[in-house]
Amino acid sequence: RATSNHKVKETVALELSYVNSNLQLLKEELEELNSSVDIYQHDSESISVPMIPLGLKETKELDLLVPLKDIISEHYGEEGVLFEKEIKEFMELRQAMRTPSRNEAGLELLMEYYNQLYFLDSRFFPPNKSLGVFFHWYDSLTGVPSHQRALAFEKGSVLFNIGALHTQIGARQDRASLPGLNQAIDAFQKAAGAFNYLKENFSNAPSLDMSAASLNMLVRLMVAQVQECVFEKMTLLRAQHDFLARLQLAQEAARVEDVYSLVHQTMTQAHVKDYVPFSWTTMVHVKSEHFKALSHYFAAIALCDCPVASDAELPEQEKAFIQFHVTMPEGPSLRVLLQDPEERRKLGKAHLKKAIMKHEEAMRIHGLCKILRKMDILQEVLSFAHKRSLSKYSEIDHEEDFFETGDAPNIQPKTHQKPEIKSPNFSQVKVTDLFHRLGPLSVFSAKNKWYPVRRVHLMRGENGFGFTLRGDSPVLIAGVIPGGCAADAGLKEGDYIISVNGKDCKWSKHAEVVQLLKSTGEEGVEIGVITL
C-alpha cells in the first residue's frame, strides 16, 4: 500500500505469492507427516523410508479475454464478443489447473489443460507472431519467477507439474503393502516419463528446473525411487529364509545403491549442485550408503543363517554364487566354501564388518543435515538396520577367533524388475476444441490466411449453378464451368463454401451442402465463400 509505483507493486505481489505458496507447501507437508506417522507405528521391519516428492510450479493468473477477442475479430473476421463464453471457459480451466488435487482427478485436469493448449496453439499462435501475453511461472525448487511469450513455456510448465504430481502421489502411498508399492512404482515411473518427455521435447526453457541438466537429474532420481520400491517389493514377497532368496535380496540392495550413487553424482555436478536442496543431496547420499550396508547384511545372513547346501542343491547355489561378488572372495574354492560352515561364517563376518561400517557412514551423513535430523522416520530406519547388523555380528563372533576379519568383496548389482520410463499418454484424456465454432482446423488456423468472406448471389441455370463440389468440412469448389452462373459471379476453383442462405456450413458434409443448394427455389441462393 505504501507505493504508487506499479513495477514495485508487481514485484512485491510476486514475492508475496511465492511466500504464500511456500507456506501452503509447508502446511501440506505437516499434514502429510501427521497423517503418515500412524502408518509407521508398526514393528520396525515394515517402516518405509521417506521418498522425495516435488513441489508444483506456481503460476500467475492470466487474462486472455481481450487478446483472444482481438485475434478472433482480426484474423477470423468473427465478432469477438460472441466467443466470450469459450474464452471464459478456457480461463476457468487454467485457473482450476493451478491447484490440482493430488490424485487421478488432478492428473486428468492437468492433462485436459495440456491437450487444450494444442488447440489454442493451432488457433491463435501464428508461427512468426506472439499474442503479446506473458506466461509467468515460478521455479519449483527456488521460487524464482520466469516469464515468456512462447506458449511452449506454458506447455512445458504444465508437463513439469504432471511429473511433479506423480511424485507426490508416489510418495503418499503406503509402501508396507503390495498394492501401495505397485502404485508407488507406477507413479514414479510416470514421473520419470514426464520429465524425460520434457527434456526431449522442450529445450530453451527460461527456468532452471526445466534445464536439461536438472531434468536429467530428476529422471534419475525417479528411476532410483522405483528401484528402491522394487527392493521393498522383494522383501515383502520372498520367503527370505532360503539361501538363494537372500542372495537375490543382497543383489537388489546393491542395485539400489548403484542407482542412488548415480543420482548423487548427478546432483553434485556443477550446474545442478547449487540448485538442488541440500536435504535432497544428503538423503540420496544416505540412501546409497544405507543400501550398500543392506547388501552386505543380506549376504552375511545368507551365509550364516542358511543351512549348508545338500548335494542336490549345490550346483544351483554354486551357479548363483559365482555371479554374486564383483571379485571372487579370497580363500577356499566355492564348493568348499558353500559346504564348510566355518568358512561361511568367516566370509559372513567380513560382510557384516563392511555392513556396520556403511551403516555408520549413513548415520554420520544423515547427522550433517538439519532438515533430515528432524525426520524421525529416517533416523529410526537407519538405527534399526545398524542395531540389527551389530547384534548379528556379536552372535557369530567367537571369542577364540584369532583370524583377521578379511575385506569382503562388493556385491554384483542385479535386479529382477528393471524400472521403465513411462511417457505420458495424452490421448487417455479426450478433449474437444473449445473454439470449434471457428471452423475446422485444417483451414481455420493461425497459420492460414484468407481473404474476407465474399457473399455471392447465384441463380440456377439450365446446368445447375455452374460448379462442382468435393470434400467435407468445409466443402471445396472443385471446378467452375466457364460462362456458367458461378463463373459470372466470380467464384473460383479452390474456394471454400462456409455458408448457404445464412446457414453456417464450415463443418457441413458434402451431401448436406448439396441438399441445401438443391432445395433453393426461383429466388436463387446466397452463398458465403472464402479464398485462402
SS (H, E, C) 2-46: CCCCHHHHHHHHHHHHHHHHHHHHHHHHHHHHHHHHHHHHCCHHH
* Same domain membership, residue 446 and residue 303: no
- Give the mean pLDDT of 417-441: 93
- Which residue is associated with the grid cell 465478432? 79
pLDDT of residue 299 exceeding 60, the answer is yes
Residue 21 sits in the same domain as residue 43? no
Query: pLDDT class for 401, splitting at 50, 70, 90?
Result: low
The answer, yes or no, to whether residue 459 has pLDDT greater than 90, is no
> Percent of the chain having pLDDT more than 90?
50
Is it the case that residue 461 has pLDDT exceeding 90?
A: no
- What's the pLDDT band for 25 if we cut at 50, 70, 90? low
Residue 301 in this model has a pLDDT that exceeds 70: yes
Query: 490: burial class by Cβ within 10 Å (0-12, 13-18, 19+)?
Result: exposed
Mean pLDDT of 132-143: 90
What pLDDT sits at residue 45?
47
pLDDT, average across residues 169-186: 93
**pLDDT value, residue 155:** 94
| Predicted pLDDT of residue 31 | 56
pLDDT higher than 50, residue 43: no
- Asked whether residue 202 falls in the same domain as residue 70, the answer is yes
Domain co-membership, 57 together with 177: yes
Q: Looking at residue 24, what is its pLDDT?
A: 64
Least confident of 69-73, 437-441, 517-521: 517-521
pLDDT at 35: 44
Q: Which of 31-40, 265-274, 403-412, 502-511 has the lowest mean pLDDT?
A: 31-40
Grade residue 321 by pLDDT with cuts at 50, 70 and 90.
Answer: confident
Look at 81-85, 136-140, 237-241, 471-475 and tell me which has the smallest mean pLDDT. 237-241
Residue 186's pLDDT is 97
Mean pLDDT of 289-299: 96
Residues 29 and 46 in one domain: no
Q: Which residue has the higher pLDDT, 165 or 466?
A: 165
Q: How far apart are CA 482 and CA 489, in angstroms?
A: 11
Confidence band of 46 (pLDDT split at 50, 70, 90) = low
Q: What local confidence, expressed as pLDDT, does residue 482 receive?
A: 87
Note down the domain range covering 13.
6-35
pLDDT of residue 36: 43
- Measure CA of the first residue to CA of the last residue in the chain; give whole Å: 53
Answer yes or no: do 153 and 262 share one domain: no
Q: What's residue 97's pLDDT?
A: 95
Cell numbers for 157: 510448465
Distance between CA atoms of residues 298 and 231, nearest Å? 12
Most confident of 118-132, 232-246, 251-265: 251-265
Q: Residue 29 — pLDDT band, cuts 50, 70, 90? A: low
Beta bridge partners of 504: 499
Whether 432 is covered by a domain: the verdict is no
Q: Is residue 424 part of a domain?
A: no
Q: Is the residue at 53 inside a domain?
A: yes
- Both 342 and 488 in one domain: the answer is no
- Mean of the per-residue pLDDT values of the chain: 87
pLDDT at 270: 83
Residue 63 lies in a domain: yes
**Domain shared by 26 and 64, yes or no:** no
Q: Residue 324 in 3-state DSSP?
A: coil
Query: Are 500 and 476 within 8 A, CB to CB?
Result: no
- Domain contains 26: yes
**Mean pLDDT comparison of 81-95, 470-484, 489-503, highest-scoring range:** 81-95
* pLDDT tier for residue 41 given thresholds of 50, 70 and 90: very low
Give the bridge partners for 530, in sequence order: 496
Mean pLDDT of 190-219: 92
Q: Do both 13 and 79 map to the same domain?
A: no
124 and 26 together in one domain: no
Q: What's residue 285's pLDDT?
A: 96
pTM to 2 decimal places: 0.86
In a domain, 226, yes or no: no
Percent share of the chain, pLDDT over 70: 93
Domain count, the chain: 4
pLDDT band of 323, cuts 50, 70, 90:
confident
pLDDT above 90: residue 377: no
If one compares 516 and 397, the residue with the highest pLDDT of the two is 516
CATH of residue 97: 1.25.40.280
Task: Give the separation between CA 386 and CA 383, rounded to whole angstroms.
Answer: 5
Can you give the pLDDT at residue 44? 37
Instruction: Using CB atoms within 10 Å of the CB of residue 43, give its burial: 0 to 12 exposed, 13 to 18 middle, 19+ buried.
Output: exposed
Rounded CA-CA distance 137/92 in Å is 18
Phi, psi (deg, nearest 5) at residue 257:
-60, -40
Of 182-191, 297-306, 402-411, the poorest mean pLDDT is in: 402-411
**Whether 31 and 63 share a structural domain:** no
- 344 and 467 share one domain: no
In-domain check, residue 354: yes
Residue 443 has pLDDT above 80, yes or no: yes
Whether residue 433 is contained in a domain is answered as: no
> Dihedral, CA atoms, 249, 251, 256, 257, nearest 10 degrees?
120
CA nearest to 320, candidates 330, 331, 309: 309
